[in-house]
Amino acid sequence: MKMRLQWNKLMLVTAAVLVLLPCGFGQGGVGVNYGLNGDNLPSPGEVVGLYQRCKIPYMRIFDPNHDVLEALRGTEIILSLGTRNEDIENLAASQEAATAWVGANVQPYANDVKIGWITVGNEVVPGPSAAHIGQAMTNVHNALASVGLSNIFVTTVVSMAAIISLISTLSRSFLKRCSGFHEQHCAIFCKCWFRKPYGQCVSLLRLCV
């Protein structure tokens, strides 16, 4: 029964995020991941120019590459800015670390780069880092709010394979590995996306599942 409740809450949040993503920024459109692992890559300026010529409104980067952030200054491209997976535990353990991360990678660019949301980690749910996601998101959210940037959403990325596994099989093994991703973390999603106090979010989730 407990596993079923956790499943319901996780899927409620997933559905809310899927609804909010296209609506939260006023228009739909195509987004493209910008990967930086490889040889002989075009410069960030060339890549940004390609996005503009092809009228691609959304970009996702997997870590705060400052050359890319500089190239995005003054453009209308809406950015999904990721943290590195190896930074999740540190961001969760220390509010100061999250504040420093925002100070180094978000605040200097916020006036000129359209940062739509920050993704804390990439496809670490399920996995050993899943237990740290909720607190890391909270600390990053608090760091943004402390410098007047609470308009930037905070979320995480769950692999599509994991979501499909949940939907198609209600896999007990998956749910067991996600046991750390419980009511507290779902309420944090609610707080970050709906701008509601934590207590209200817990109550809302209990009513919906």
pLDDT, one tens digit per residue, over 148-207 is: 998 999 988 877 666 665 555 544 554 455 555 555 555 555 555 445 555 555 444 444
Strand residue runs (E) in the chain: 31-33, 58-61, 78-82, 114-122, 153-157
**By the 8 A CB rule, do 166 and 125 touch?**
no
For residue 187, what pLDDT is reported? 53
Query: Residue 24 domain-assigned?
Result: no
Q: Which of 7, 4, 11, 1 is nearest to 189 (CA)?
A: 11
Query: Residue 204 domain-assigned?
Result: yes
For residues 136 and 151, what is the distance between their CA atoms, to the nearest angstrom? 18
For residue 87, what pLDDT is reported? 93
For residue 127, what pLDDT is reported? 74
**By the 8 A CB rule, do 121 and 157 touch?**
yes
For residues 85 and 129, what is the distance between their CA atoms, to the nearest angstrom? 8
For residues 91 and 120, what is the distance between their CA atoms, to the nearest angstrom? 9
User: Which tens digits make up the pLDDT trace of 99-146?
Assistant: 999 999 999 999 999 999 999 988 877 777 778 888 999 999 999 999
For residue 134, what pLDDT is reported? 86
For residue 79, what pLDDT is reported? 96
Q: Which of 72, 181, 55, 160 is nearest to 116 (CA)?
A: 72
Query: Residue 22 domain-assigned?
Result: no
For residues 172 and 4, what is the distance between their CA atoms, to the nearest angstrom? 9
- The answer on pLDDT for 76 being more than 60 is yes
For residues 96 and 76, what is the distance between their CA atoms, to the nearest angstrom? 31
User: Which tens digits make up the pLDDT trace of 117-130?
Assistant: 999 988 877 777 77
Q: For residue 26, what are its two tokens?
A: 């006023």
What is the CATH number for 127? 3.20.20.80
For residue 133, what pLDDT is reported? 87
List, as own/partner pairs, every contact residues 200-204 make where C-beta atoms lie below 8 angstroms and the sequence separation is at least 24, other chains included: none
Query: Residue 43 domain-assigned?
Result: yes
- Per-residue pLDDT, averaged over 71-92, amounts to 95
* Per-residue confidence band for 12, with pLDDT thresholds at 50, 70 and 90: very low
- The answer on pLDDT for 90 being more than 70 is yes
Query: Residue 185 domain-assigned?
Result: yes
Is 136 buried (19+), middle (13-18) or exposed (0-12) by CB count in 10 A? buried
- Per-residue pLDDT, averaged over 15-26, amounts to 41
Query: Residue 23 domain-assigned?
Result: no
Structural domains of the chain, count: 1
How many angstroms separate the Cα of 208 from the Cα of each of 166, 202, 205? 19, 10, 5
For residue 110, what pLDDT is reported? 95
- Amino acid identity at 70: E
Model pTM score: 0.69
- The answer on pLDDT for 37 being more than 50 is yes
Query: Residue 49 domain-assigned?
Result: yes
Q: Using a pLDDT cut of 90, give the percent of the chain over it.
A: 45
Full residue range of the structural domain in which residue 73 is found: 2-17+30-208
Query: Residue 40 domain-assigned?
Result: yes
**By the 8 A CB rule, do 9 and 205 touch?**
yes
